[in-house]
Chains A and B, each alone.
Chain A
Amino acid sequence: MGDSKTITNLFFLGRRDEKRASTAAVSEEARLIDRIREGDENAFNELYRRLSPLVHGIVFSRVPPDEVEDIVQEVFILAFNGLHKLQNKNAVGPWIASIARNRAVEYFRRNKPTEELPESLAQRKSAQTEAQEILDAIMELPDAYKETLVLRLVEGLTGPEIADKTGLTHASVRVNLHRGMKMLRSKLEIKR
């Protein structure tokens, strides 16, 4: 309970600075959108650099690791072609995040998962690293916690960055991180 009180106090104290920083980041992305619409290729590369961790994390939390790179590329191609449909330039992060999630869902609709043979399963288990064990535990979590933890622990984004790019509130991201980490810890303890 002490932890939740600390979280609440920190949340209200740090809110103003977070909002200023997030507003500046969002404005920069809006400027990049304007430049892209004028035909500036460098602006699109800059946007790709800024948002690829977000897209990679979202796709990584949903599809097999072998398919992640291809799907990330597809998401950015779809985003580039659909930029004229973007109405709110300040919400490009949440917009591209929704494209990534939809593309991941479409991947599973097209490619139904196949059953593994027992031999391959045994081989996989023997070569399983600790990293894979942690990743498997994360993948068993609910989607909201899974995505937030992947963005935090795999992609290295901070909580405020996750909130800015996904469009979630800071409070939601804090809750997802806190509860997701709690569930992950209990799963890892059970496995060990």
Chain B
Amino acid sequence: MNENYLWDKTGRDPEIEKLESELAAFRPGTTAPPALRIDADLLEKPTSSSRIWIRPALSFGIVGAACIAAIVFAPGIIQSVRVNYPGQTEKTAPVLIAKNDDEPKMARSDNQGTATKGEVTLEPEKITRAPKIKSSESYRLPHKIVRRIDRMPGKPRRNKKQEKLKLTPEEKHAFDQLMLGLSITSANLKIVNDKVQGTRESRKE
């Protein structure tokens, strides 16, 4: 048997040629294959190149939406964190107003610092700077605020020991991680925004 002929039809091998001539009867066509008849209803709609981009675009959109949501809620989270740690400017400092029977309500300060009967205010100019939170995780409210809160009607006087707001190491770590995550999310959102703007500009061109 001629192996070359079996491999790539170089040379001759009568035995293999005979087999080929006999089996050629089972070949579909001598010249061209039968025409491919595809009915339109058998075919799905042609997949456009846009389908190839659906998955990346969808993931892109989800990431963008997540970043936007993080950015929208980040100021609120930061604001709520800052409320517990006074040291804000005089115009943005919240004012704690308490009437005789009601619970204290938050209101904006107009920097006048007036206090009427039954009201308790946190005078912004008294709040100098945010206290430093040390690794010992103990934090004390400023002295004047402690006093004013003590004067709220109906609220029992707190001991000095109870006034300390202790942060456990896990809580402090969680807080730091939260702030770090928010900063990263805002950076990612900026990147996403830049890419979207770049894509729109290239499409317009």
Asked if A159 CB lies within 8 Å of chain B CBs, one says: yes
Chain A neighbourhood of B16, CB < 8 A: 153, 181
Q: By the criterion CB–CB under 8 Å, are A10 and B3 in contact?
A: yes
Interface bin, chain A: 35 or more
Cα distance A3–B3 when bound, in Å? 7
Chain B neighbourhood of A152, CB < 8 A: 6
Chain B neighbourhood of A84, CB < 8 A: 47, 51-52
Q: By the criterion CB–CB under 8 Å, are A69 and B52 in contact?
A: no
Asked if B38 CB lies within 8 Å of chain A CBs, one says: yes
Asked if A39 CB lies within 8 Å of chain B CBs, one says: yes
Q: By the criterion CB–CB under 8 Å, are A49 and B33 in contact?
A: yes
Q: By the criterion CB–CB under 8 Å, are A181 and B23 in contact?
A: no
Cα distance A131–B3 when bound, in Å? 22
A52-B28, A159-B6 given; A134·B19 CB < 8 A: yes
Asked if B154 CB lies within 8 Å of chain A CBs, one says: no
CB-nearest residue of chain A to B15: A185
Asked if A154 CB lies within 8 Å of chain B CBs, one says: yes
CB-nearest residue of chain A to B33: A52
Q: By the criterion CB–CB under 8 Å, are A181 and B43 in contact?
A: no
Q: Mark A142-183, 1 if CB is under 8 A from B, else 0.
A: 000000000011111011100000000000001001100100
A45-B36, A48-B33, A156-B20 given; A37·B9 CB < 8 A: no
Asked if A106 CB lies within 8 Å of chain B CBs, one says: no
**Smallest CB–CB gap between B79 and chain A, Å?**
48
Q: By the criterion CB–CB under 8 Å, are A158 and B3 in contact?
A: no
Interface bin, chain B: 20 to 34
Cα distance A38–B15 when bound, in Å? 47
Q: By the criterion CB–CB under 8 Å, are A158 and B26 in contact?
A: no
Q: By the criterion CB–CB under 8 Å, are B43 and A159 in contact?
A: no
Asked if A6 CB lies within 8 Å of chain B CBs, one says: yes
Asked if B42 CB lies within 8 Å of chain A CBs, one says: yes
Asked if B44 CB lies within 8 Å of chain A CBs, one says: yes
Chain A neighbourhood of B15, CB < 8 A: 185
CB-nearest residue of chain B to A7: B3
Query: Which residues of chain B from 2 to 17 have a CB within 8 Å of any chain A CB?
Result: 3-4, 6-9, 15-16
**Extra inter-chain contacts (18) besides given A3-B1, A77-B43, A131-B25, CB under 8 Å:** A6-B3, A37-B47, A38-B49, A44-B36, A49-B33, A69-B34, A76-B36, A81-B43, A81-B44, A131-B22, A153-B20, A154-B24, A154-B26, A154-B27, A158-B7, A159-B7, A174-B7, A181-B16
- Residues of chain A touching chain B, judged by Cβ–Cβ distance below 8 Å, are 3, 6-7, 10, 37-39, 44-45, 48-49, 52-53, 56, 60, 65, 68-69, 72-73, 76-77, 80-81, 83-84, 130-131, 134-135, 152-156, 158-160, 174, 177-178, 181, 184-185
- Residues of chain B touching chain A, judged by Cβ–Cβ distance below 8 Å, are 1, 3-4, 6-9, 15-16, 19-20, 22-28, 32-34, 36-38, 42-44, 46-47, 49, 51-52
